Chain A
Amino acid sequence: MWPDPNLKVATLVSVGQHPKSGRARRAEQDARAVELGLKMAGTRSRLVNVGAGDETGLRQYLGMGLPELMQVKAGTEADAVPALVEHLKTHPTDIVLTGIRAEQGEASGMVPYLLGEQLGWPVVSRIADIQKIEDGKADVLQALPRGQRRLLRVPLPFIATVDNAAPEARQYAYGPARRGQLAETNGTAIVDEARLEWQETPAKPRPKRLNVVKAKSAADRFKAATAKPQGQGGQVIRDGTDREKAEAIMELLISEGVVR
């Protein structure tokens, strides 16, 4: 079934940043989106980037085995959304994949939502996989917290952000990264005026929240510091058969929704 030759997948990629060294690299979540695109459409899936991005970072995506990356040239202060809207309107696309948040800059994660709003396409957040596409509808596996999954059915075309739970991106190779084409085009580059007024500083460590005990006497403070954690008077079942006891447990599990 995969890769589907008729499926048009576009992956929006950005230049990432190594969390320790700060060096430019492929962004972790974007690379997972590229991996998903490769699975679905093979090397026919498109890579799109807006900006004056660092070449070494972008070429790492090409090193995953894709022949071309389309770069819409815009200044570093430009807003990426108008350029992407223009690109997606001119190039027919079924599925747009991207990461959840960029690894540098403002990293608001708003691009997929703004695109969805302006193009009128549905947006699905935090997907782990796309299972199948039938009758113009895709079965999408969404990643939930605590390792859970949920199945959604979305009509094409749609925009999806790829979660860290998606399959890990393949390693990139140096040769294909050098050989791949960076196709540059010019797009609508509107300078993001609001952002120019903001100040960017290195992240300040956030103060750790202290557990303040509002006790009136020394005895209460002592107790708060030493007491064992205790529930507020739980229900204790002493009598009855094993069956009744098991039923009481089962009832709680069902009411909490952990047993379906």
Chain B
Amino acid sequence: MSDMPISDVPRRDPRTEWILRNRLHPQHDELVAASSGPVRGPSGLLRKNPRAVGYIGPNGLKRIDRSAGFSGGAGGVSFRSRGRSGQAEVELPLHTVEQPDFYVAVVVDLAAGRLSGHDKDVLGQAHQLVNATEGEGAVLAIALGEAREAAFGKAGADRLIHLTDVQGEPLDGYCPERKLAVLEAVECEFEPRYWLFPDSVHGGADLGSRLAARLGERPAVQAWQVDTERTVCRGGSQLTDWHRPTARVMLLAAECALPIDETRHEAKPLELTVIPPVTPRIEDLGPVDVDPSKIALSEAEFILAAGNGVRDWDQFHAVATTLGATEGASRVAVDDGNMPRFRQVGATGTWVTARVYVAVGISGAIQHLQGIGQCDKVVAINLDDGCDMIKRADLSVIGNSQGILGELLNLAESRQNGTGADTADLAIDTREEERHVA
């Protein structure tokens, strides 16, 4: 007994034992964690303490998080995981191309300065062609004109030529001859293996046809199934399919391939050394004012929509006219007889595709939010700052709609008097026209 050193004698710590028994003690968790190593039972089996999981929630109840941290951002997760996973963007792996053997050129539309779904599909198709071809290729995105919020790297551009002007002349508006000169310069310098264009009404079809005619290539138009050997193109009236060898210049239909969503790309900017000067024969005199009320609601670009919160309807119509917006309405406004039925936006009315949607006094029923699902920018004017429309909107203004609309009307009028006097007022007779078919 006495030959045992004093330090080896097992000693009890009654205070620790007391804390370990008392699970409401503030130090209970850390002491349990420190003392719980692998525990062997009397038969030598490894025992697990089923009560050691979870933690005590704010209301004193035990909470067990079984999601193991995978359900990032989901509604009902524990408050522990909420902070770190939140709305965090997942960093996608970066795809790099050091020395490309060949290029696949994609000329994006950049309608309204943004990459459309069609543009992204075409970039996805370009990557399919690169992957199916031997050697290391790079997707060269060519963007002509101003871009805003255009994530070229995320959409799949390995290399990027982005020009906003050529020889001091801006590339916005209609200038197919200047754009064609840029594309010819790209052809001389990089000799892309394929030229891909979106076959769209936003200029892709026009520019692609011009380039094909200039290069003397026979393009595959409305191509919807493309690999390196064969291409399937939709023929006239969408009634026939043409099976043909893959062409060098292709005008691709929408949804031809899946967009890039698992990798990031470099979007390394390239410079064109020389762009031959051109003297364009087509002169762009700028956009012409059209009567916004004649534009079909489903394809209007700018919609001012009214809901239950609007009291002064004359003022609302005046604002829409002054701003040049097409009028829309929620179901309540239509049911109350303040707006005609064909102005109703939402699941039971029209599904709109506007670029800017201003919702005045609309709280945002789910049917209405479905109807505006494809809108780019939503502005909400509302008294209630907890309504669903505020959660959807990119810019929300809390306040009385009448006062804000009044100020908006003043601003628009002063702006028109200041700048808008010189634009030629041309009487244009546009009828309500059918949707454009690409």
Listed in ascending order, the chain A residues whose CB lies under 8 Å from chain B are: 17, 19, 22, 101-110, 113-114, 116-117, 122-126, 128, 131, 139, 141-142, 144-155, 164-165, 194, 197-204, 206, 209, 214, 216-217, 219-220, 223, 228-238, 242-243, 245-250, 252-253, 256-260
Cα A117 to Cα B215 with chains together (Å)? 10
16 A-B contacts, Cβ less than 8 Å apart?
A: A104-B239, A108-B219, A110-B219, A117-B214, A125-B205, A141-B428, A148-B301, A152-B284, A165-B430, A209-B255, A209-B258, A220-B70, A234-B392, A245-B404, A248-B397, A257-B113
Top 3 nearest A-B pairs (CB, nearest first) are A107-B236, A246-B407, A147-B295
CB pair B323 A150 closer than 8 Å: no
Contact check: which of A107, A113, A144, A198 meets B210 at CB < 8 Å?
A: A113
Nearest A residue to B410 by beta-carbon distance?
Answer: A246
Does B82 sit within 8 A of A, measured CB to CB? no
Contact check: which of B113, B236, B288 meets A102 at CB < 8 Å?
A: B236
Contact check: which of B239, B376, B423, B428 meets A149 at CB < 8 Å?
A: B428
Contact code string B192-207 (vs A, CB < 8 Å = 1, else 0) = 0000000001100110
Would A199 and B355 be within 8 Å (CB), given that A113-B210, A234-B395 are in contact? no
Listed in ascending order, the chain B residues whose CB lies under 8 Å from chain A are: 67, 70-72, 74-77, 87, 111-113, 173-174, 176-177, 201-202, 205-206, 209-210, 212-214, 218-219, 221-222, 224, 233-245, 255, 258, 261, 281-288, 290, 294-296, 299-302, 323-325, 355-356, 358, 366, 369-370, 373, 376-379, 381, 385, 388, 390-400, 403-408, 410-412, 415, 420, 423, 426, 428, 430, 433-434, 436-437
CB pair A219 B71 closer than 8 Å: yes
Contact check: which of A19, A139, A151, A202 meets B286 at CB < 8 Å?
A: A151
Would A206 and B255 be within 8 Å (CB), given that A107-B235, A109-B209, A252-B377 are in contact? yes
Contact check: which of B234, B324, B394, B405 meets A203 at CB < 8 Å?
A: B234
Contact check: which of A106, A128, A152 meets B282 at CB < 8 Å?
A: A152
Nearest A residue to B288 by beta-carbon distance?
Answer: A149
Nearest A residue to B302 by beta-carbon distance?
Answer: A258
Cα A113 to Cα B236 with chains together (Å)? 18
Contact check: which of B299, B378, B385, B436 meets A236 at CB < 8 Å?
A: B385
Cα A105 to Cα B323 with chains together (Å)? 45
CB pair A109 B205 closer than 8 Å: yes
Contact check: which of B74, B87, B235 meets A220 at CB < 8 Å?
A: B74
Contact check: which of A139, A148, A245, A246 meets B285 at CB < 8 Å?
A: A139
Interface centre among A145, A152, A202 (most CB of B within 10 A): A145
Least CB distance, B95 to chain A, in whole angstroms: 18
Contact check: which of A17, A147, A153, A236 meets B283 at CB < 8 Å?
A: A153
Contact check: which of B75, B237, B433 meets A164 at CB < 8 Å?
A: B433
CB neighbours (8 Å) of A248 from chain B are 395, 397
Least CB distance, A140 to chain B, in whole angstroms: 9
Chain B binding surface SS class: mixed
Q: How many A-B residue pairs have CB under 8 A?
A: 275
CB neighbours (8 Å) of A234 from chain B are 378, 390, 392-396
CB pair A146 B239 closer than 8 Å: no
CB pair A203 B240 closer than 8 Å: yes
CB neighbours (8 Å) of B285 from chain A are 139, 150-153
Nearest A residue to B200 by beta-carbon distance?
Answer: A145
CB neighbours (8 Å) of A141 from chain B are 288, 428
Cα A253 to Cα B87 with chains together (Å)? 28
CB neighbours (8 Å) of B433 from chain A are 147, 164-165
Cα A144 to Cα B76 with chains together (Å)? 47
CB neighbours (8 Å) of A109 from chain B are 205, 209, 221
CB pair A206 B224 closer than 8 Å: yes
Nearest B residue to A243 by beta-carbon distance?
Answer: B407
Would A103 and B236 be within 8 Å (CB), given that A110-B221, A153-B285, A245-B404 are in contact? yes
CB pair B241 A245 closer than 8 Å: no
Least CB distance, A59 to chain B, in whole angstroms: 20
CB pair B71 A220 closer than 8 Å: yes
Would A116 and B213 be within 8 Å (CB), given that A245-B404, A259-B415 are in contact? yes
Least CB distance, B52 to chain A, in whole angstroms: 24
Would A237 and B397 be within 8 Å (CB), given that A107-B236, A108-B221, A242-B404 are in contact? yes
CB neighbours (8 Å) of A250 from chain B are 408, 411-412, 415
Least CB distance, A144 to chain B, in whole angstroms: 8
CB pair A252 B241 closer than 8 Å: no
CB neighbours (8 Å) of A104 from chain B are 235-237, 239-240
CB neighbours (8 Å) of A256 from chain B are 112, 355-356, 376-377
Interface centre among B75, B283, B395 (most CB of A within 10 A): B395
Contact check: which of A19, A131, A229, A236 meets B396 at CB < 8 Å?
A: A236
CB neighbours (8 Å) of A231 from chain B are 378, 391-394
CB neighbours (8 Å) of A146 from chain B are 295, 299-301
CB neighbours (8 Å) of A223 from chain B are 74-75
Nearest B residue to A22 by beta-carbon distance?
Answer: B239
CB neighbours (8 Å) of A17 from chain B are 236-237, 239
CB neighbours (8 Å) of A113 from chain B are 209-210, 212-213
Least CB distance, B414 to chain A, in whole angstroms: 10
